[in-house]
């Protein structure tokens, strides 16, 4: 395949600092108060122009000319997680290519490669991150010149967590999570993540939530969390972490309870299931704390989790970090 143009985008994972979930709506989604926090665990998405599949001018462009996605491949550092990445049209990155080509009429065939380091089906929005990165890369490659607002519009059509991956930093997501309001925080925090050997489907965790919380109240932003973020106090932040989906994730994968207890018992300031899980997140410090204090806590939590035999991999990251960026 002849290649002449390449764009690579680096995009972060997210952890939720608060995930408040309301009752199921008529469209099947749930209203959320979803405090997203971008962390330094990155996928890199490379989009190359696939010249051999370029349509002739008489054929037009985009999906009408034939498959605009010539190839989708994945690699990375994720062990068994990689085998869970779908490499067909169901991948959110593939849907991003098609959606943007249809919406702009500018699409020429591309090959997309996902260099994955964000857990797959892990509650850290890795698939959403790849979709956001693909939108940004195709916009550049095809010369669409879309505004941030237009890109966020395409992102929201792809999924509830996709707009945040474009924006990054810390933000509260309202509606089904796609309506974003930045929540600036002066602190930078250190996180330890325990990756599970299994994945959980977001839809099935929401389904379990409906079963065990048929009386869910309207979601509200937790004042203690907002105050902790504004002050940058890691102890207050650790105490304020909450996730309404945690009980549902633990109901589907009960062993996560032991993972949470292991990290908490080793001195984490706070612990929770990330999003719909099963990745577990442990806050180990930050804000104004001395680096040596944070490093000591981090080492104790990492050692306990690695020694527990409960998780497939343990990784460390900082937050917050900016959203998707061309490299
Ligand atoms: O928006 P996204 O495609 O990521 O959502 C995946 C699934 O998660 C949805 O099909 C739905 O079952 C559930 N979901 C929900 N309410 C939200 C977001 C997601 O019920 N606000």
**Predicted confidence (pLDDT) per residue in 214-273, tens digit:** 999 999 999 999 999 999 999 999 999 999 999 999 999 999 999 999 999 999 999 999
| pLDDT score of 81 | 77
Domain end, chosen from 149, 181, 213, is at 181
Looking at the domain assignment, is residue 229 inside a domain?
Answer: yes
Positions of the chain with pLDDT lower than 50, given as ranges: 1-3, 53-66
Rounded to the nearest 5 degrees, what angle is found at the Cα of 309, between the Cα atoms of 308 and 310? 85
Asked whether residue 159 falls in the same domain as residue 196, the answer is: no
User: Across the chain, what does the average pLDDT equal?
Assistant: 93
Predicted pLDDT of residue 54: 44
Nearest to 17 by CA among 129, 157, 164: 164
Regarding pTM above 0.95, the answer is no
Domain region containing 65: 6-181
3-state secondary structure of 19: strand
Structure tokens at 98: 């098609």
Query: Is residue 111 within 8 Å of 3, Cβ to Cβ?
Result: yes
Tokens of 45: 């998405």
Which residue is closest in CA terms to ligand 1's atom 9?
A: 203
CATH number of the domain bearing residue 211:
3.30.70.890
Q: Is the CB of 174 under 6 A from ligand 1?
A: no
Q: Is the CB of 208 under 6 A from ligand 1?
A: no
Report the percent of the chain where pLDDT is more than 70: 94
Q: Do 190 and 162 lie in a common domain?
A: no
Residue 208 shares a structural domain with residue 177: no
Q: Write out the DSSP string of 72-83.
A: EEEEES-GGGGG
**36 CB near ligand 1 (under 6 Å):** no
Whether residue 171 is contained in a domain is answered as: yes
Residues 196 and 177 in one domain: no
Number of domains present in the structure of the chain: 2
Judgement on whether residues 286 and 230 belong to the same structural domain of the protein = yes
Residue ID of nearest Cα to ligand 1 atom 8: 203
Final residue of a structural domain among 181, 204, 225: 181
Cα-based distances in Å from 5 to 42, 108, 142, 241: 22, 11, 10, 44
Best mutation site among 14, 92, 157, 160 for ligand 1, i.e. most ligand atoms within 8 A of its Cβ?
160
- Here the CATH number for the domain that contains residue 136 is 3.30.230.10
171 and 195 both lie in a single domain: no
| 74 and 211 share one domain | no
Comparing C-alpha atoms, which of 76, 60, 95, 284 is closest to residue 193? 284
Pairing of the two strands 313-319 and 189-195: antiparallel
Q: In the chain, helix, strand, coil percent, each to 5?
A: 40, 30, 35
Q: Are 181 and 171 in contact (CB under 8 A)?
A: yes
Is there a catalytic annotation at residue 116?
no
Q: Are residues 164 and 194 in the same domain?
A: no
> Is residue 203 lining ligand 1, measured as CB closer than 6 Å?
yes
Residue 73's pLDDT is what? 96
pLDDT in tens, 132-143: 999 999 999 999
Catalytic (active site) residue 14: yes
Find out whether the beta carbon of 29 lies less than 6 Å from any atom of ligand 1.
Answer: yes
Claim to verify: residue 155 and residue 16 sit in the same structural domain: yes
Domain termination residue (choose one: 137, 154, 181):
181
State yes or no: cis peptide before 320, omega within 30 of 0. yes
Mutate to test the pocket of ligand 1, among 14, 165, 176 (most ligand atoms within 8 A of CB): 176
- Does 1 fall in a domain? no
Distance CA 123, CA 114 (A): 18
On whether both 268 and 285 belong to a single domain, the answer is yes
Q: What ligand 1 atom has the least distance to the C-alpha of 162?
A: 4
- Give alpha helix (H) positions in the chain: 92-104, 126-141, 148-158, 162-167, 202-212, 223-231, 234-240, 246-252, 256-265, 291-308
Q: Is there a single domain that holds both residue 22 and residue 171?
A: yes
- Which of 31, 161, 169, 244 is an active site residue? 161
Question: Domain for residue 270, yes or no?
Answer: yes
Closest residue by Cα to atom 20, ligand 1, is 29
For residue 57, tell me if it sits in a domain.
yes
β-pairing, 170-174 vs 242-243, is unpaired
Do 192 and 156 reside in the same domain of the chain?
no
Q: Is residue 44 part of a domain?
A: yes
Interval 281-300: pLDDT, tens: 999 999 999 999 999 999 99
Q: By the 8 A CB rule, do 77 and 118 touch? A: no
Tell me if 160 CB under 6 Å of ligand 1: yes
Cα Rg, the chain, nearest whole Å? 20
Is 325 part of a structural domain of the chain? no
């Amino acid at each position: 395949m002849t290649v002449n143009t390449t764009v690579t985008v680096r995009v972060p994972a997210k952890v939720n600092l608060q995930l408040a979930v309301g009752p199921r709506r008529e469209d099947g989604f749930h209203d959320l108060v979803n405090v997203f926090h971008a962390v330094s665990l990155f996928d890199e998405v490379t989009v190359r122009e696939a010249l051999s599949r370029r349509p002739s001018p008489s054929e037009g462009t985009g999906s009408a000319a034939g498959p605009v996605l010539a190839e989708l491949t994945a690699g990375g550092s994720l062990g068994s997680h990689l085998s869970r990445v779908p490499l067909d049209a169901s991948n959110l990155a593939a849907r991003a290519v098609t959606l943007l080509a249809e919406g702009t009429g500018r699409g020429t065939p591309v090959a997309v490669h996902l260099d994955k380091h964000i857990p797959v089906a892990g509650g850290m929005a890795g698939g959403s991150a790849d979709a956001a990165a693909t939108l940004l890369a195709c916009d550049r490659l095809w010369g669409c010149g879309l505004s941030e607002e237009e890109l966020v519009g395409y992102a929201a059509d792809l999924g509830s967590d996709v707009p945040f991956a474009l924006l990054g930093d810390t933000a509260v997501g309202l509606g089904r999570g796609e309506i974003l309001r930045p929540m600036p925080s002066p602190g930078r925090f250190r996180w330890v993540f325990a990756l599970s050997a299994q994945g959980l489907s977001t839809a099935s965790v929401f389904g379990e939530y409906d079963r065990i919380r048929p009386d869910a109240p309207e979601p509200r932003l937790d004042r203690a969390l907002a105050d902790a973020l504004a002050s940058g106090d890691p102890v207050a932040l650790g105490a304020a972490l909450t996730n309404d989906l945690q009980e549902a994730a633990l109901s589907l994968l009960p062993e996560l309870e032991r993972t949470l207890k292991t990290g908490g018992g080793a001195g984490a300031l706070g612990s929770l299931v990330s999003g719909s899980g099963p990745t577990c997140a442990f806050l180990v410090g930050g804000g104004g704390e001395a680096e040596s204090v944070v490093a000591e806590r981090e080492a104790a939590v990492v050692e306990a989790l690695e020694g527990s035999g409960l998780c497939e991999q343990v990784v460390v990251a900082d937050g917050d970090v900016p959203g998707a960026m061309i490299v």
